[in-house]
Amino acid sequence: MNKVPFVTKEQVEEMARTYPTPFHLYDERGIRENVKALKEAFSWNPGFKEYFAVKATPNPFLMQILQEYGCGCDCSSYTELMLSEAIGVKGADIMFSSNDTPAEDFAYADKLGAIINLDDITHIDFLEKTIGHIPETISCRYNPGGLFKISNDIMDNPGDSKYGMTTEQIKDAFQILKEKGAKEFGIHAFLASNTVTNDYYPMLAKVLFEQAVRLQKETGVHIKFINLSGGIGIPYTPDQEPNNIRAIGDGVRRVYEEVLVPAGMGDVAIYTELGRYMMGPYGCLVTKAIHEKHTHKEYIGVDACAVNLMRPAMYGAYHHITVLGKEEAPCDHKYDVTGSLCENNDKFAIDRMLPKIDKGDYLVIHDTGAHGFSMGYNYNGKLKSAELLLKEDGSVQLIRRAETPADYFATFDCFEIGKTLIS
């Protein structure tokens, strides 16, 4: 299966006349179709709600698109809470899932009326001392430990994860919280990342549903919701089969009816906190080839770098590349596609077979709609790029301008150059 960009060479050439490369580009049509499919897949559960993982793509314009479909926000920091409030998301439409949490973050989440998801049993006292009470609705993050497997395949290693409470701790936490006035409870877990299988959510659901039945029986609490968190991935490589969200939703429904309904818990709402699945395939990084180098290898230098997309440098992650206008040309040239950082891992591709690339060609780096721009930084004094939205009608909207040197020096307002540039 080949990956086809949602933008053409002609469209990019037109955009670049106003917005120089590199820039991140998002596909409004794809985002809307995807969120509608998610809602349909879980429509069997009356309380279903998606809390978009803001960390994946913290852009208010994109968050507002999801908000139109009833999505809430999954926040993990003070600033993400601010961003959610700024677009009018408050109260139970915010899930605050954090770890090693500062007191001011808990206080702000409580002020907004967010559902607080506690990462550790020690956070109960910390939260109570911070805000002066325990909220009536509260959630706890669960980590069963060990390896998480589907059949014989190891999906991830929760036992090596810093997140969540043990089986014994979450039971104790529920009892303590109940004694302190909590009335409605939620369970949350994230046991594997970027899974490309329709079996992950149903398997996770079975673990959490069975745990919920035990907890409700042993502690007498009322479990209001079970949060399956994220973990549904996307096919970064062309040979991977995409997840089928309707099959996933149906798989969770079957486990729900098998485990929760017979236990008298057919009123439990299902929540999700998807980020990568919601936005990943509907964003790309557009960059231009500006140099070529012929030494021990063949290199193509582009005007983007790891500042714009950290995943290949940080994880060795694969992102597919299309050379616009050469989609049908043979991939008979082997390149390392590099950025300009003073780090040898600043490579978008290594030994990648691509069509012959000429200086001035535009490259689309696929699947950057989540954990792309959001993981950016300013190493080497590099500036973050613009973000653009390709609207359903074909027009283009600037949804975040590119940084300028004045932005970079803004926090040096105590130093003369900062004062000069800011003014």
The CATH code of the domain that includes 371 is 2.40.37.10
- Whether residue 291 is found in the same domain as residue 243: no
Pairing of β 321-323 and β 362-365: antiparallel
**Which amino acid would we find at residue 136?**
E
- Whether residue 146 is found in the same domain as residue 287: no
CATH number at residue 178: 3.20.20.10
- Rounded to the nearest 10°, the torsion over CA 93, 99, 104, 106 is 40
- Whether residue 190 is found in the same domain as residue 287: no
Q: Is the dihedral of CA 134, 135, 136, 140 positive or negative?
A: negative
Confidence of residue 159 (pLDDT cuts 50, 70, 90): low
Note whether residue 13 is domain-resident: no
Note whether residue 228 is domain-resident: yes
Q: Characterise 164 by phi-psi region: left (phi > 0), alpha (psi -120 to 50), beta (else).
A: left
Q: Which of 278, 275, 279, 345 is nearest to 317 (CA)?
A: 345
- Whether residue 321 is found in the same domain as residue 181: no
- Whether residue 270 is found in the same domain as residue 316: no
- Whether residue 75 is found in the same domain as residue 188: yes
What's the pLDDT score for residue 411? 86
Q: Compute the radius of gyration of the chain from its Cα atoms.
A: 23
Tell me the C-alpha distance between 269 and 49, whole Å.
8
Q: Taking 90 as the threshold, does the pLDDT of residue 160 lie above it?
A: no
Scored b (16 or more CB within 10 A) or e, 301-317 reads: bbbbbbbbbbbbbeeee
Asked if 343 and 306 count as a contact pair (C-beta separation under 8 A), the reply is yes
- Give the C-alpha distances (Å, rounded to integers) separating 200 from 19, 53, 244, 284, 372: 40, 18, 12, 26, 24
Note whether residue 17 is domain-resident: no
Note whether residue 35 is domain-resident: yes
- Whether residue 201 is found in the same domain as residue 120: yes
Note whether residue 188 is domain-resident: yes
Note whether residue 10 is domain-resident: no
- The average confidence (pLDDT) of the chain is 94
- Whether residue 202 is found in the same domain as residue 242: yes
Give 292-351 pLDDT, tens digit per residue: 999 999 999 999 999 999 999 999 999 999 999 999 999 999 999 999 999 999 999 999
> How many independent structural domains does the chain possess?
2
Q: Does residue 417 or residue 315 have the better pLDDT?
A: 315
Instruction: Please identify, among 257, 279, 301, the residue that sits at the C-terminal boundary of a domain.
Output: 279
Contacts of 132 (CB under 8 A, 6+ apart): none
- Whether residue 318 is found in the same domain as residue 381: yes
- Whether residue 312 is found in the same domain as residue 226: no
Asked if 262 and 19 count as a contact pair (C-beta separation under 8 A), the reply is no
Q: Which of 254, 165, 160 is nearest to 201 (CA)?
A: 254
Q: How far, in whole angstroms, is CA 192 from its chain's centroid?
A: 13
Instruction: Please identify, among 279, 301, 335, the residue that sits at the C-terminal boundary of a domain.
Output: 279
Which structural domain, as residue segments, surrounds residue 387?
281-412
- Whether residue 289 is found in the same domain as residue 270: no
- Whether residue 193 is found in the same domain as residue 290: no
Note whether residue 12 is domain-resident: no
| 3-state per-residue secondary structure call for 7-28 | CCHHHHHHHHHHCCCCEEEEEH
My answer on whether omega of the bond before 22 falls inside 30° of 0, hence cis, is yes
Burial of residue 2 (CB within 10 Å: 0-12, 13-18, 19+) is exposed
Confidence of residue 191 (pLDDT cuts 50, 70, 90): confident
Give 243-255 pLDDT, tens digit per residue: 999 999 999 999 9
What's the pLDDT score for residue 154? 47
Query: What is the pTM assigned to this prediction?
Result: 0.94
Confidence of residue 423 (pLDDT cuts 50, 70, 90): low
Q: Is the dihedral of CA 290, 294, 299, 304 positive or negative?
A: negative
Instruction: Please identify, among 279, 309, 329, the residue that sits at the C-terminal boundary of a domain.
Output: 279
Note whether residue 420 is domain-resident: no
